[in-house]
Structures are given as structure tokens and as C-alpha cells.
Amino acid sequence: MSEAKDKSICPHCGEQMKKWASPVTATWGGEFLWICFNDNCGYYQRGWDHTFKKIGVKASYRHRYDPETGQEGPFPVNSPDAGKDGIIDG
């Protein structure tokens, strides 16, 4: 019998993600998202080079999980501190 995966753990680095408050005007879904704010996460680190090579923009992305919809994917950031002001837990 397999155990359910804890979706608040980043699948890229294994760190506990942070609870992030979705702005009222956002189309992300629920009241909050889980976002990996680990600056050493390989997904985030590789994103800088990947985004610049693909679209010529200095930006990256962090892993996000929406517990209301079950959707996972990239959370775009344009600096290492982008989005950190929305952390509501930990």
C-alpha cells in the first residue's frame, strides 16, 4: 500500500514549502499556495539560465502547489526576494 505524498514538500529539493497568501486579485485559486522558497533548490537555480536562454529575460521560477485545485507548476519570480513578502507560515 503506497502512502499519499505530502504536497507541501518540494518534489525538486525535498524541503518543506512555505504557505504563501494569494492576493485577492490573483487568479491562482484559493486563499494560499505552497511555494518552495529554498534558494538552493535546483528547480529554482536552473530556472535563471533556462528562462534567459528561452525568452531572454532575467527571471526564474519556484515550485508551487495549489491545495484547492491540486495544480502544481512554476511560480515566476524576477528576483531572489520576489514573493517572499507573501509568506504567511514559517
Residue 8: inside a domain: no
Residue 85: inside a domain: yes
- Give the CA distances from residue 17 to residues 1, 12, 31, in Å, rounded to whole numbers and listed in that order: 26, 11, 16
Q: How far apart are CA 60 and CA 1, in angstroms?
A: 37
Inter-residue contact 62 to 37 (CB < 8 Å): yes
The number of folded domains in the chain is 1
Closest to 66 (Cα-Cα) out of 27, 12, 37, 39 = 27
Inter-residue contact 84 to 21 (CB < 8 Å): no
Residue 5: inside a domain: no
Name 7's bridge partners: none
Residue 63: inside a domain: yes
* pLDDT (tens digit per residue) in 28-64: 667 899 999 999 999 999 999 999 999 999 999 999 9
Residue 11: inside a domain: no
pLDDT > 70 fraction of the chain, expressed in percent and rounded: 88
Residue 28: inside a domain: yes
Q: Which domain holds residue 68?
A: 18-89
